Structure 1
């Protein structure tokens, strides 16, 4: 773990320079611990794949003081202890009419469309970080048999609710947006709601499971083809 200055009122805690479940667990444990401190001089705490950005009150801390404070506090973290997680299950309509790249993912990986669906929906995914768009959760890691590189030319519009794969990660577009991920299905699940206290039901301590549903079920849930 390394603490570096980010700006006049912020620091970054680095745990490593790679993406892995082990590093992600350290980020989550540290993030939860920092939130529990309820330090009123912390303006914002933002976790990422392998680091945490902390913005703080410059009238209370300078870089030297915040670094000393964090080092002392973070000595108490037990990384072996499992961070509590909530499981959210998301219904997905997997079909070529909404999964614009479903066939492409199958073809590039030399497997059937049914196998893509089975492999994608059989895992429980960790949330590595949230970014790009509000409610856009980077989930991992997909089965290596369906890991697929991004599109060479991103779409100008990826429909809201598109369930997608890029390399070893999967995600759902919370709104219409440009994007280069491979679309394999669609969900009516809302990833961002301004009426929610936390704006999104997904956070870094969430685990996600995708469940295949029929077209009829998807439409009954408010899904749009």
Structure 2
């Protein structure tokens, strides 16, 4: 649900999470450096200095997107995994504010922990499982009518050397609204099977109010605030 992709989420996720800005005072003879101008390599955090600028794609084998919501009036946090989502990231560690992130999520692909006999407790339900109910029911994710959840970044700001905020447009249940992801850049590495291509990782999270998107079923037994969490890796494109 929010990505938010994502998402990435994710959603990317990407990357306001980068390089520290120089806060030392400048003399009156020095021209101010616009925030859009690239940092020098020496000014970047060590986790960013050797990262290649370019386009990155989500490594789906090492990406996790989950949402959680209060259940039983706050007795527990109910968690659901999205199992089919993708993200693309254009990223320059020297100019993180210029990064572009796009995320897509398949709302029909959810995984819940429901070991009980769904049909015995939902005898009138047209669905065969709780996963199908959650994904297809018009009062929930309504995947039959809205087959994608999307997130596209519109603004990225740094909050520290390796953290930032990614604001973008979330498309969900037929509506598009701005949301902001809190993002942490986890670093980069190289692995033998990818050759010289970089592998970078992020964590991201955001919270939406589901009733604002028209999903008001079972309030307040099921909470109104839904938190979306992403952790994953992106691979430099060839």
> Normalising to structure 1: TM-score of the pair?
0.26
Report the structure, 1 or 2, having the larger helix content.
Answer: 1
Report the structure, 1 or 2, having the larger strand content.
Answer: 2
> Normalising to structure 2: TM-score of the pair?
0.25
